[in-house]
Amino acid sequence: MARPYKPGPKQFVFAVGDGDDQHVSVGDPQEAYEAFSAFFRGRESETYTITDEPARQRLVLGPRLGVISRVTEADHPRSEHLRVDRPNRYLPSAMLFFENGYAGLDHFGQWFADLADLDATPEIRGAARAATFTTEAAAIDEVGRIWADSGYVDPTDRYYIFFDSKDIDDDRADRAELLKLIEFLGLERVDAPAEAAGGEVWVRADPRLDAECERWS
């Protein structure tokens, strides 16, 4: 059961740019998600915007462009953008926004401050994202995010497997980023078994990975 908003209820505005905005007052994130799901599925638009006016934050979903943007105008105003490769990513991003606002999407994917960066190849985007992590702690945290999305520990506890059952053309940006982070952290990548999917990345267990992946489990 979703934790109620305190103080509550909370107000959001849903919009698609046609002037027919929907104002909702909801008691918890699940109620907000259900209201937005109905709004999202009942319209055809290039963009869908969720605005939290009291917090001065908004989330913009662009299914036709393959982009999600998050904006905050509070404290230190900023905006970030995310390339979306799978259509089932939009509504989960809305749920995270309803739960924890702008910060709730910190670990949702590869965010870039410049929208133009999203036009680069996945490999260039991944390498550029990896270069933003300059400390071991931040890099390990990002490796944990990537692992949590589609990874597991092999039954012998000797390896961490990333991109389980994925083909080489899946998750290209995240894979490029991971390979750079493995190098930065000095982790040991090993050859995947012959029966593994072509996109899997196998890394030998490391105490730093043990601690981080336990946190994400």
Distance separating alpha carbons of residues 163 and 139, to the nearest angstrom: 18
Which amino acid type is present at position 191? D
pTM: 0.80
163-187: average pLDDT: 95
What pairing do the DSSP bridges indicate for beta strands 159-162 and 152-153? antiparallel
Sheet containing 111-112: order of strands: 22-26, 10-15, 48-52, 57-62, 67-72, 78-83, 111-112
- Return the pLDDT at 3: 87
Distance separating alpha carbons of residues 175 and 126, to the nearest angstrom: 7
- Return the pLDDT at 75: 81
Does residue 215 register a pLDDT over 90?
no
- Return the pLDDT at 149: 85
- Return the pLDDT at 86: 82
Distance separating alpha carbons of residues 9 and 71, to the nearest angstrom: 22
Does residue 27 register a pLDDT over 90?
yes
- Give the pLDDT band of residue 105 (cuts 50, 70, 90): very high
- Give the pLDDT band of residue 1 (cuts 50, 70, 90): low
If one compares 213 and 23, the residue with the highest pLDDT of the two is: 23
- Give the pLDDT band of residue 152 (cuts 50, 70, 90): very high
